[in-house]
Amino acid sequence: MMNDLSAALELAWLPYFPGWDERLVKIATAADSEAWHELVALANARIDYATTLRLDRTLRRRFSSVPGALTTRPLRLAILGSSTVEHLFPGIRTAALRRGLWVEIQTVEYGQYQQALLASSSSLHAFRPDVVLFIFDAPHLLGGGAVNLEAVCGRVRELWQQARAAFGCQVIQQTLLPTALALLGSNEHRLTTSALHLTKRFNEWLRTQSDVDGVDLLALDDRAAVDGLLSWHDPVMWLRAKQEVTPLAAPFYGELLARMLAAQQGRSFKCLVLDLDNTLWGGVIGDDGIEGIKLGQGSAVGEAHLAVQRYAMELSRRGIILAVCSKNDEEIALSAFEHHPEMLLRRSDIACFIANWEDKATNLRRIASSLNLGLDSLVLLDDSPFERSLVRGALPMVAVPELPEDPALYPRRLADAGYFETVSITDDDLLRSRQYQAGVERETMRTSAADLQSYLAGLQMELFWGNFNRIALQRIVQLINKTNQFNLTTRRYTAAEVQALMSDPLVFTLQLRLVDCYGDNGIISVIIGRLVGDVVELDTWLMSCRVLGRDVEKAALNIVVEQARQLGGKFLRGIYRPTEKNEIVRGHYAALGFHPDQTSTTDEYCWTLPLDGCVQHDICIKIQKIE
């Protein structure tokens, strides 16, 4: 039965083409230019190892030299390795073909790279490569461990310099696959002679030294961490044929390399075009309304779509341009960007926003021309198989990844497709958007602030408050049912019960949203008060622990006091019901100036605060009502 160790790596973002076989056969008799374009098209279908071999064979039979129709610079790639690499060539050539690149590959007998580099009479020198790729396996460089790593690094660096000196070429270094076996386990690093540990150290060294020397890395170790080492490395094939990368992984290997070869020529995608319904949020906003779409905290599906937005946002921060292309009424589509509290992407993050009822191919043309980009710079992320195939048919140069059914997997799929591969980051890239990386900055500031008050003032906090509303309902219900620590009474309510509270005239409901200089923390607190006689009982008071220690409770109390007065109450009663998890708020009401109440029991501690003459807490949080 199938080996349970490895799973084949698939080019899952590429679509299957019906009639792929027939089209391949026709290439033999097609005219040169047509044959070349058809080969490029077929390379953009989902191909596996077998079809990669066939496509490569057809390519080589049809074009023994540079095709006349080639619009890019032909590339000569030399692969210098310590193990068998020939089985990777078809994957490399077809992945280059996918990008309209022509690559001629030469290698030397494995292990002969040093001689080939040095001997000016070698066929390598006659070949004059534009790019040299070094592929080493860990056993070759590190043996069984216990080597002088510095010396190893020095030798590798020398090879880079020799290649540069001989050919003036670009150098690519593949990182080591961590194939060595653990001798200690999780704390492998404590055995300094361990080959596995040395592999990691070598790979770390590569990350700093390659920058200094202008070498680009092919990070196979990162890929192995995502896909599992054994998807890349089959010990049987290693022993049988000295193939460190298993042949089944060759199409993916070629893809990783070709991305980089394209990126080195500045040929990568620059703009991510986003569909809206069921892509940026769950549901159809035209049907479901702004309150009905699934987005953000409160449902797993909503969080999945939020994660899509987050990845898009992160890409935009590093220089990828965002656009929207959606079949929608523009006004309705925009309303989500302007009014939905969980939207991460804002209208201002979108360089070109098109929502109408025309076909997407026409709209993508508009986007490209308004942004002054080629159509071949666009990637369209769209959940609809219908739209995807329509766009592919009309505009084959636009990248349109196949998406899995589950939106939770969209960001991973987009990342795997590697459309935005980039080898260097310029200031311009980063300047395109100047947002802070929230958490890190906040923490840095905390440690550097002279005292707590100036730290809090520096956060420029604004607390937005409002009564419960339907848009926030999901999130409110989620907080009520999930918050365990900062939760005074731990009373759980269903959505229906919460809705009943919203229309109860004896009850006030509060949702609090905290914004600071680093961004929006979302809804962080929920409070419910009920008038009983002349006492407003605080039925529920909960808060997200993320915003502890920032005086948010004091600001909240100021709002609570106002709400309780409006209900006609004379006293506030705070209740603390201890659970295993909410010890953190035992002193909550005491800290806010409440007095212990006579009615307390061990199950329920009560505190009272007279509303008459109750003074506002002095805090550095600006309070605003949500409109």
Partner 1 sequence: MNEDQILEQLTEIFHQVFDDDSIELTLGTTAADIPEWDSMNHISLIVLVQSHFKIKFQTSELEDLKNVGDFVTLIVRKLG
Cα dihedral 73, 264, 309, 516 sign: negative
b (16+ CB within 10 A) / e for 273-307: bbbbbbbbbbbebeeeebeebbbbbbbebbbbbbb
Between 60 and 347, name the residue whose CB sits nearer to partner 1.
60
Structure tokens at 210: 């390659």
User: Do 600 and 586 meet the contact criterion of CB atoms below 8 Å apart?
Assistant: no
Q: Which residues contact 95 (CB under 8 A, 6 or more apart)?
A: 43, 251, 254, 255, 257, 258, 259
Closest distance to partner 1 from the beta carbon of 237 (Å): 7
Nearest distance from C-beta of residue 65 to partner 1, angstroms = 20
Query: Bridge partners of 352?
Result: 323
CA distance 297 to 437: 20
> In this structure, which amino acid lies at residue 234?
D
Q: How far is the CB of 61 from partner 1 (least distance, A)?
A: 8
Q: Which is nearer to partner 1, 216 or 234 (CB)?
A: 234
Residues engaged in binding partner 1 (CB under 8 A): 1-3, 8, 49-51, 53-54, 57-58, 61, 86-87, 236-237, 239-241, 243, 246-248
- The least distance separating partner 1 from the CB of residue 544, rounded to whole angstroms, comes to 49
Do residues 400 and 391 touch, judged by C-beta distance below 8 A? yes
Joined together, the tokens standing for residue 375 give 């159509």
CB-wise, 87 or 573, nearer to partner 1? Answer: 87
Residue type, 383: D
What is residue 475's three-state secondary structure? helix
Of 9 and 304, nearer to partner 1 (C-beta) is 9
- Nearest approach, Cβ of 247 to partner 1 (angstroms)? 5
What string of DSSP letters covers 526-581?
EEEEEEETTEEEEEEEEE-GGGTTSSHHHHHHHHHHHHHHHHT-SEEEEEE---SS
> Comparing C-alpha atoms, which of 7, 14, 96 is closest to residue 55?
96
- At its nearest, how many Å lie between partner 1 and the CB of residue 127? 20
Tell me how far, at minimum, the Cβ of 85 lies from partner 1, in Å. Answer: 11
Q: What share of the chain is helix, strand, coil (3-state, %, to 5)?
A: 45, 20, 35
Nearer to partner 1, 62 or 412 (CB): 62
Minimum CB distance to partner 1 smaller for 49 or for 252: 49
CB burial class (10 A; 0-12, 13-18, 19+) of residue 535? middle
Shortest distance in whole angstroms from residue 66 CB to partner 1 = 22
Query: What's CA 570's distance to the chain center, in Å?
Result: 52
Q: Tell me the closest approach of the beta carbon of residue 495 to partner 1, in angstroms.
A: 47
CB of 249 to partner 1, least distance (A): 10
- Residues 6 or more apart whose CB falls under 8 angstroms from that of 505 comprise none
Cβ proximity to partner 1, 53 vs 572, nearer residue: 53
Q: Tell me the β-bridge partners of 595.
A: 608
Rounded least distance, CB 54 to partner 1, Å: 5
Q: According to DSSP H, which parts of 215-329 are helical? A: 220-227, 229-232, 235-241, 250-264, 285-292, 300-317
* Least distance in angstroms from the C-beta of 87 to partner 1: 6
Q: Please answer whether residues 273 and 323 qualify as being in contact, where contact means their C-beta atoms are separated by less than 8 angstroms.
A: yes
